[in-house]
C-alpha cells in the first residue's frame, strides 16, 4: 500500500517527528488498523456529499481580463 511507504524522506520525517511532537508513538501496524476501515466506497460516499456543485466556490485573486465572472 503506497500510504505505508517509508522510503520517502518527507514521510520518514513525519513518521519520526510526529510522536515526539504529540507524545503518541504508533507502529505501522497500529496505523494500518486505524486506516483499514476506510474503504474506497466510504470515501467516495463522503466525497459525493462534500463536493456537491452547490457547495463549491471559486476565488480569483488579481485582475484577469480573459475571465468572465457570472453575475
Task: Return the higher-pLDDT residue of 27 and 71.
Answer: 27
Rounded to the nearest integer, the mean pLDDT of the chain is 81
Cβ–Cβ < 8 Å for 46, 38? no
Instruction: Report how far residue 2's alpha carbon sits from residue 4's, in angstroms, rounded to the nearest whole number.
Output: 5
How high is the pLDDT of residue 38?
94
Is residue 37 over pLDDT 90? yes
- Rounded Cα distance between 71 and 68, Å, is 9
So where are the chain's domains? Answer: 2-55
**CA separation for the pair 32, 67 (Å, rounded):** 45
The CA distance from 11 to 42, in Å, is 25
pTM of the complete model beyond 0.85:
no
Amino acid at each position: 500500500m503506497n500510504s505505508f511507504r517509508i522510503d520517502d524522506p518527507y514521510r520518514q520525517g513525519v513518521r519520526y517527528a510526529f510522536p515526539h511532537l504529540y507524545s503518541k508513538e504508533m507502529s505501522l501496524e497500529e496505523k494500518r488498523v486505524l486506516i483499514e476501515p476506510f474503504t474506497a466506497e466510504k470515501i467516495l460516499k463522503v466525497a459525493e456529499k462534500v463536493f456537491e456543485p452547490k457547495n463549491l466556490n471559486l476565488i480569483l485573486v488579481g485582475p484577469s481580463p480573459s475571465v468572465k465572472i457570472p453575475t
